Amino acid sequence: MEKMSNLLKYIAPVFILGVFTLIVSCEDDDETVIDDTNLVFMQGALNGAEFKDGAQEVLTNVDISLIFSHEMETARVQDALTISGGNGAADFTVGFTNTNSTLQITSSNELDYETAYTIALPAGAYGTKGEELRDDFSISFTTEAFTPPQVSLSADAIEIEENAGVATITASLDKPADQDVTVEFSTGGMAVVDTDYILDPVSLVIPAGNLEATATITARLDSEDEMDEEIIIGIASVTNADENGTQQLSILIKEQPAPLMLKGVMAMTWDGQVSTNEGKAVHLYANENIADLSVYGLGIANNGGGTDGQEYTFPAISVAAGDHILVARETAAISAYFEGCINEFDHVLMDDTGSVSQNGDDAIELFSNGEVIETYGDANVDGTGMDWEYSGSWAYKFDGEWMTGGLDCTVGSSTAATSACQYPLCGPAVSLKGVLAIEWDGSGTNGGKAWHLKVMKDVDDLSIYGIGVANNGGGTDGQEFTLPAGPAKEGDDILIAREPGTISAYFGNCINSFEFVIDSQDQANQNGDDAIELFENGVVIETYGDANIDGTGEPWEYAGSWAYKMDGFWTTGGLNCAAGATSNAGSGCPYPECQ
């Protein structure tokens, strides 16, 4: 009995705990029982977002989903459902999805602005198994206030060629309009509508319900040799919509050069001349094949007295695109002065009429079919003291821009090669333009090492040129890098870099100033005190610095910086001038090509 008593002493608490647990469990089960006879609204969506009662600023086209707990009798719901707002019942399309437990409501037409709408379903049995909506259900929203559509302009090109180049202008709305939208264009810029280009149409209509319409700009070829011209297109007025801020497009008409253009003008004076007429000549360049050159001519507007008309007519010969033509007063004398450079001209023509009579202060006019198409200088101004004067010198068009050799720069010379201002066509096709050993925050040791070359005239094969670095004043190391084979055009800039990616990131958008960016294959190893040699066919033709002198402390040193040639003279950025910078634009010495 004592043993049984002891056993009960341990069993009794366990039994009591079990009974308590059973009671509690039963009570919990009673609390989680759901009445499955109720039809309950679960959640809603309005135009893809959660639908809360009283939603504001709703678009006037709506797509609504109302999700209920059970499958519903569709006909019964449709009979009882009301959608009201504004002046009464609103026009909606009602459907069902998800085994008819989701009510899908879509506006049939655009709703009124700033109007409250209510969707209501009275209490009732709508479930397919008799489930009841115990309370009346309603949910409402208010549409947005009216705001006119906004018009924006865009173009598919920012540059077009002068001869029939086309750009498409698109006027776009941010939302459809109830009525036709009319956009009247405004025009501006240097380019003149109907003269330099055609805008068609000058106003356009975006039909009601549509989002865009287009117009075209077509450039026209004129008879003048002029600079590129900008077209500015804006919005003068809009009907049934608003302009989105200030809309303005800029499109550049790229000047298409005439088949024949002026390339150089000469009034040179040198030692041993029999007469000053020997240095008078006009240099022309053919941009296209010309079957009959005699449609062109020249005129000299002496002393600012205005045009004298066409005084020289070219012979009836054909020339090819890329040909250089020299019309000289004395062909034998100027050929002797130019020496081998005379072979750069494909045609050397004698002016036996004495028309080529300029004295360095006279404007030169180029005629086509009796009309002036290009002028160097100003026919109505005496050039003495003007920036275009070329007395005792020459003027030359390089990469579309005119330059002069400097007054009397040929005086004292006996040949073009010995003058202080060699005629540009006679020089090498490639020239040193810059030498870089820039160091900035993030450049590392080699990131800023590069060479910059300028193409002075068209070249068929760059591989005849190369670079060498004369380190530490130890003399030439010969050609260490050869440019890749291929052509280049006059005016092209070539950057040869130790780490193209690093220096491109430093330059930012300025890297687009270079037509060629080439990897130096680790040969650009200058430290800012090393001379740089440019080779042509294995022969040094130009040197920056002195190959036999360590540049440390020399005026040409460029450690942590750069050297740059401008108008024939070298300048440097200052030692370590980019230290601490993270970009060219943010440095204390931006590379001049980027200015």
- pLDDT at res. 224: 57
Distance from C-alpha of 449 to C-alpha of 435, rounded to nearest angstrom: 8
Question: Where a domain ends, among 196, 221, 254?
Answer: 254
Question: Where a domain ends, among 114, 143, 172?
Answer: 143
Structural contact between residues 444 and 463, judged by C-beta atoms closer than 8 angstroms: no
Question: Where a domain ends, among 195, 224, 254?
Answer: 254
pLDDT tens digit at each of 595 positions of the chain: 343 344 334 434 433 334 333 333 434 444 445 578 999 999 999 999 999 999 999 998 899 999 999 999 999 999 999 999 877 777 899 999 999 999 999 998 889 989 999 999 999 999 999 999 999 999 999 999 989 999 999 999 999 988 789 999 999 999 999 899 999 999 999 999 998 999 999 999 999 999 999 999 999 876 555 678 999 999 999 999 999 999 999 999 988 788 999 999 999 999 999 998 999 999 999 999 999 999 999 999 999 999 999 999 999 999 999 999 999 999 999 999 999 999 999 999 999 999 999 999 999 999 999 999 999 999 999 999 999 999 999 999 998 899 999 999 999 999 999 999 999 999 999 999 999 999 999 999 999 999 999 999 999 999 999 999 999 999 999 999 999 999 999 999 999 999 999 999 999 999 999 999 999 999 999 999 999 999 999 999 999 999 999 999 999 999 999 999 998 899 999 999 999 999 999 999 999 999 8
- pLDDT at res. 575: 97
Distance from C-alpha of 432 to C-alpha of 448, rounded to nearest angstrom: 17
Distance from C-alpha of 55 to C-alpha of 53, rounded to nearest angstrom: 6
- pLDDT at res. 380: 97
Residues 292 and 337 in one domain: yes
pTM: 0.63
Asked if the structure places residue 295 within a domain, the reply is: yes
Domain count, the chain: 4
Task: Report CA-CA distances (Å) from 408 to 184, 301, 359, 420, 421.
Answer: 57, 21, 12, 9, 9
DSSP 211-262: -EEEEEEEE---S-----EEEEEEEEEEESSEE-S--EEEEEEE----SEEE
The C-alpha angle with vertex 294 and arms to 288 and 299, in degrees rounded to 5, equals 100
- pLDDT at res. 221: 76
Asked if the structure places residue 418 within a domain, the reply is: yes
- pLDDT at res. 27: 43
DSSP 525-589: ---SSSEEEEEETTEEEEEES-TTS--TTSTT--TBSEEEEETTEEEE--TTTTTT-SSSTTSSS
Residue 368 parent element (H or E): strand 363-368
Asked if the structure places residue 67 within a domain, the reply is: yes
Residues 412 and 362 in one domain: yes
- pLDDT at res. 22: 34
Residues 197 and 300 in one domain: no
Tokens of 428: 């090498």
Can you tell me whether residue 483 is helix, strand or coil?
coil
Torsion-angle region of 96 (φ positive above 0: left; ψ -120 to 50: alpha; else: beta): beta
What is the per-residue burial (b if ≥16 Cβ within 10 Å, else e) of 175-187? eebeeebbbebeb
Asked if the structure places residue 321 within a domain, the reply is: yes
Residues 272 and 393 in one domain: yes
Residues 183 and 45 in one domain: no
Nearest to 203 by CA among 193, 214, 211, 194: 214
**CATH code at 170?**
2.60.40.2030
**CATH code at 384?**
2.60.40
DSSP-derived letter for residue 286 is E
Residues 203 and 231 in one domain: yes
Residues 190 and 321 in one domain: no
DSSP 128-157: TT--EE-S-EEEEEEEPPP-PPEEEEEES-
- pLDDT at res. 114: 92
Asked if the structure places residue 28 within a domain, the reply is: no
Tokens of 55: 């939603």
Residues 462 and 398 in one domain: no
Structural contact between residues 433 and 573, judged by C-beta atoms closer than 8 angstroms: no
The identity of residue 173, as a single letter, is: L
Structural contact between residues 294 and 368, judged by C-beta atoms closer than 8 angstroms: no
Nearest to 407 by CA among 397, 415, 395, 425: 395
- pLDDT at res. 226: 62
Structural contact between residues 281 and 326, judged by C-beta atoms closer than 8 angstroms: yes
Asked if the structure places residue 6 within a domain, the reply is: no
Range of the structural domain that residue 48 is part of: 41-143
Structural contact between residues 286 and 321, judged by C-beta atoms closer than 8 angstroms: yes
Residues 154 and 57 in one domain: no
Asked if the structure places residue 388 within a domain, the reply is: yes
For the chain, the C-alpha Rg in angstroms (whole number) is 42
Asked if the structure places residue 5 within a domain, the reply is: no
Residues 315 and 379 in one domain: yes
Structural contact between residues 528 and 576, judged by C-beta atoms closer than 8 angstroms: no
Q: Which residues pair with 453 in a beta bridge?
A: 432, 494
- pLDDT at res. 110: 83
Residues 225 and 294 in one domain: no
**CATH code at 51?**
2.60.40.3710
Residues 536 and 515 in one domain: yes
Distance from C-alpha of 420 to C-alpha of 43, rounded to nearest angstrom: 89
